Amino acid sequence: MKHTYTLSNIDEAAAALWRECRSYPVITLSGGLGAGKTTLVSHLCHTLGITDAVSSPTFALVNEYRLQLEGKELPVFHMDWYRLKNVDEAIDAGMEDHLEQARSGDAICIVEWPEKAARLLRPPYAAVTIDILGDEERELSIQLVDHP
Ligand SMILES: Nc1ncnc2c1ncn2[C@@H]1O[C@H](COP(=O)(O)OP(=O)(O)OP(=O)(O)O)[C@@H](O)[C@H]1O
Ligand SMILES: [Mg+2]
Protein backbone atom coordinates (compact mmCIF):
# COMPACT_ATOMS: atom_id res chain seq x y z
CA MET A 1 0.00 0.00 0.00
CA LYS A 2 1.14 3.55 -0.67
CA HIS A 3 -0.24 6.65 0.97
CA THR A 4 0.67 10.30 0.39
CA TYR A 5 0.23 12.80 3.24
CA THR A 6 1.32 16.11 4.72
CA LEU A 7 1.30 17.37 8.32
CA SER A 8 -2.31 18.49 7.79
CA ASN A 9 -3.63 14.95 7.23
CA ILE A 10 -0.98 12.91 9.01
CA ASP A 11 -3.59 11.51 11.44
CA GLU A 12 -5.38 9.89 8.50
CA ALA A 13 -2.08 8.42 7.32
CA ALA A 14 -1.42 7.10 10.84
CA ALA A 15 -4.90 5.55 10.96
CA ALA A 16 -4.41 3.94 7.55
CA LEU A 17 -1.05 2.60 8.68
CA TRP A 18 -2.62 1.05 11.77
CA ARG A 19 -5.48 -0.52 9.76
CA GLU A 20 -2.93 -2.25 7.61
CA CYS A 21 -0.35 -3.18 10.24
CA ARG A 22 -2.33 -3.84 13.40
CA SER A 23 -2.00 -7.62 13.25
CA TYR A 24 1.79 -7.33 13.01
CA PRO A 25 3.69 -7.27 16.33
CA VAL A 26 6.61 -5.32 14.91
CA ILE A 27 6.46 -2.24 12.69
CA THR A 28 9.69 -0.89 11.23
CA LEU A 29 10.04 2.67 9.93
CA SER A 30 12.70 3.47 7.34
CA GLY A 31 13.48 6.81 5.76
CA GLY A 32 16.37 9.27 5.90
CA LEU A 33 17.21 11.72 8.68
CA GLY A 34 14.22 13.97 9.28
CA ALA A 35 11.92 12.01 6.97
CA GLY A 36 9.26 12.08 9.67
CA LYS A 37 9.50 8.70 11.42
CA THR A 38 9.18 10.00 14.97
CA THR A 39 6.47 12.46 13.95
CA LEU A 40 4.44 9.61 12.45
CA VAL A 41 4.92 7.43 15.56
CA SER A 42 3.69 10.30 17.69
CA HIS A 43 0.51 10.64 15.59
CA LEU A 44 0.04 6.88 15.48
CA CYS A 45 0.24 6.69 19.27
CA HIS A 46 -2.20 9.58 19.58
CA THR A 47 -4.61 7.77 17.22
CA LEU A 48 -4.35 4.72 19.48
CA GLY A 49 -5.28 6.78 22.53
CA ILE A 50 -1.84 6.66 24.12
CA THR A 51 -1.57 9.60 26.50
CA ASP A 52 2.16 9.22 27.28
CA ALA A 53 4.41 11.84 25.72
CA VAL A 54 5.94 10.44 22.54
CA SER A 55 9.40 11.66 21.65
CA SER A 56 12.49 10.52 19.84
CA PRO A 57 14.17 7.65 21.72
CA THR A 58 17.55 8.82 20.46
CA PHE A 59 19.20 8.96 23.89
CA ALA A 60 17.56 6.04 25.68
CA LEU A 61 17.30 4.05 22.40
CA VAL A 62 13.88 2.85 23.56
CA ASN A 63 10.81 4.59 24.97
CA GLU A 64 7.98 2.61 26.53
CA TYR A 65 4.36 3.71 26.28
CA ARG A 66 1.21 2.00 27.58
CA LEU A 67 -1.52 1.01 25.15
CA GLN A 68 -5.05 -0.05 26.18
CA LEU A 69 -6.14 -2.52 23.52
CA GLU A 70 -9.25 -4.71 23.68
CA GLY A 71 -9.39 -4.67 27.46
CA LYS A 72 -5.70 -5.46 27.85
CA GLU A 73 -2.75 -3.17 28.61
CA LEU A 74 0.26 -3.65 26.37
CA PRO A 75 3.64 -1.93 26.34
CA VAL A 76 4.62 -0.21 23.12
CA PHE A 77 8.40 -0.20 22.69
CA HIS A 78 9.42 2.71 20.47
CA MET A 79 13.00 2.01 19.49
CA ASP A 80 15.56 4.00 17.58
CA TRP A 81 18.48 1.90 16.38
CA TYR A 82 20.32 4.79 14.73
CA ARG A 83 23.13 4.86 17.27
CA LEU A 84 23.66 1.10 17.37
CA LYS A 85 26.83 -0.07 15.69
CA ASN A 86 25.90 -3.71 15.20
CA VAL A 87 23.60 -6.55 16.17
CA ASP A 88 25.58 -7.40 19.33
CA GLU A 89 25.08 -3.88 20.63
CA ALA A 90 21.37 -4.15 19.85
CA ILE A 91 21.12 -7.39 21.80
CA ASP A 92 23.06 -5.91 24.74
CA ALA A 93 20.61 -3.00 24.75
CA GLY A 94 17.70 -5.44 25.12
CA MET A 95 16.23 -4.98 21.67
CA GLU A 96 15.93 -8.71 20.97
CA ASP A 97 13.99 -9.20 24.22
CA HIS A 98 11.51 -6.51 23.23
CA LEU A 99 11.04 -8.08 19.79
CA GLU A 100 10.56 -11.50 21.37
CA GLN A 101 7.95 -10.11 23.77
CA ALA A 102 6.10 -8.58 20.80
CA ARG A 103 6.21 -11.85 18.88
CA SER A 104 4.55 -13.62 21.81
CA GLY A 105 1.73 -11.08 21.71
CA ASP A 106 2.67 -9.20 24.87
CA ALA A 107 3.99 -5.99 23.34
CA ILE A 108 4.13 -3.93 20.19
CA CYS A 109 7.49 -2.80 18.80
CA ILE A 110 8.03 0.19 16.56
CA VAL A 111 11.57 0.48 15.22
CA GLU A 112 13.22 3.51 13.61
CA TRP A 113 16.42 2.77 11.66
CA PRO A 114 15.82 -1.03 11.50
CA GLU A 115 18.70 -1.29 8.98
CA LYS A 116 21.20 -0.92 11.84
CA ALA A 117 20.38 -4.40 13.18
CA ALA A 118 18.25 -5.92 10.42
CA ARG A 119 19.32 -9.43 11.33
CA LEU A 120 17.21 -9.21 14.50
CA LEU A 121 14.02 -8.90 12.45
CA ARG A 122 12.07 -12.03 11.77
CA PRO A 123 8.68 -12.34 10.05
CA PRO A 124 5.98 -11.43 10.62
CA TYR A 125 6.63 -7.71 10.63
CA ALA A 126 5.43 -4.66 8.73
CA ALA A 127 8.14 -2.67 6.96
CA VAL A 128 7.15 0.95 6.42
CA THR A 129 9.19 3.36 4.31
CA ILE A 130 8.73 7.13 4.32
CA ASP A 131 9.84 8.99 1.20
CA ILE A 132 10.13 12.77 1.10
CA LEU A 133 8.20 14.12 -1.89
CA GLY A 134 8.30 17.82 -0.99
CA ASP A 135 8.55 20.31 1.87
CA GLU A 136 5.73 18.69 3.83
CA GLU A 137 4.68 15.97 1.45
CA ARG A 138 5.58 12.40 2.32
CA GLU A 139 4.80 8.99 0.88
CA LEU A 140 4.29 5.90 3.02
CA SER A 141 4.96 2.50 1.51
CA ILE A 142 3.97 -0.53 3.54
CA GLN A 143 5.35 -3.98 2.94
CA LEU A 144 3.97 -6.83 5.03
CA VAL A 145 6.63 -9.47 5.62
CA ASP A 146 5.18 -12.87 6.45
CA HIS A 147 6.57 -16.32 7.01
CA PRO A 148 7.52 -17.91 3.67
N1 LIG B 1 4.39 15.17 6.31
C2 LIG B 1 5.28 15.22 7.32
N3 LIG B 1 5.40 14.17 8.17
C4 LIG B 1 6.30 14.20 9.15
N5 LIG B 1 7.13 15.22 9.41
C6 LIG B 1 7.05 16.29 8.61
C7 LIG B 1 6.14 16.34 7.54
N8 LIG B 1 6.29 17.49 6.91
C9 LIG B 1 7.25 18.15 7.56
N10 LIG B 1 7.72 17.45 8.59
C11 LIG B 1 8.78 17.89 9.51
O12 LIG B 1 9.91 17.04 9.32
C13 LIG B 1 10.55 16.78 10.56
C14 LIG B 1 10.57 15.29 10.79
O15 LIG B 1 11.28 15.03 11.97
P16 LIG B 1 11.26 13.61 12.69
O17 LIG B 1 12.01 13.74 13.95
O18 LIG B 1 9.86 13.10 12.75
O19 LIG B 1 12.07 12.73 11.64
P20 LIG B 1 12.76 11.31 11.84
O21 LIG B 1 12.56 10.59 10.55
O22 LIG B 1 12.27 10.65 13.06
O23 LIG B 1 14.30 11.70 11.98
P24 LIG B 1 15.51 10.84 12.61
O25 LIG B 1 16.09 10.03 11.49
O26 LIG B 1 16.46 11.88 13.09
O27 LIG B 1 14.97 9.98 13.71
C28 LIG B 1 9.75 17.53 11.62
O29 LIG B 1 10.38 18.77 11.87
C30 LIG B 1 8.39 17.72 10.98
O31 LIG B 1 7.71 18.87 11.43
MG1 LIG C 1 13.29 9.85 14.71
> Taking all residues of the chain, what is their mean pLDDT, rounded to a whole number?
96
Q: What's the pLDDT at 60?
A: 78
Cα(129) to ligand 2 centroid in Å equals 13
Residue length of the chain: 148
Protein residues within 5 Å, CB atom, of ion ligand 2: 37-38, 56, 112
pLDDT tier for residue 1 given thresholds of 50, 70 and 90: confident
Cα(71) to ligand 1 centroid in Å equals 32
Q: What's the pLDDT at 139?
A: 98
Among the atoms of ligand 1, which is closest to the Cα of residue 130? 21
Ligand nearest to the CA of 113: 1
Verify whether ligand 1 is closer than 6 Å to residue 112 (CB atom). yes
Three-state SS annotation for the chain: CEEEECHHHHHHHHHHHHHHHCCCCEEEEECCCCCCHHHHHHHHHHHCCCCCCCCCCCCCCEEEEEEEECCEEEEEEEEECCCCCCHHHHHHCCHHHHHHHHHCCCCEEEEECHHHHHHHCCCCEEEEEEEECCCCCEEEEEEEECCC
Q: What's the pLDDT at 54?
A: 94
Rounded to an integer, the average pLDDT of 87-111 is 97
Q: What's the pLDDT tens digit per position in 55-65?
A: 999 777 999 99
Domains and their CATH numbers in the chain:
2-145 (3.40.50.300)
Question: What is the rounded CA–CA span in Å between residue 104 and residue 33?
Answer: 31
Question: What is the rounded CA–CA span in Å between residue 95 and residue 121?
Answer: 10
Rounded to an integer, the average pLDDT of 79-103 is 96
Q: What's the pLDDT at 128?
A: 98
Please state the φ and ψ torsions of residue 58, each to the nearest 5 degrees: -55, -40
Q: What's the pLDDT at 134?
A: 95
Among the atoms of ligand 1, which is closest to the Cα of residue 58? 27
pLDDT tier for residue 81 given thresholds of 50, 70 and 90: very high
Verify whether ligand 1 is closer than 6 Å to residue 6 (CB atom). yes
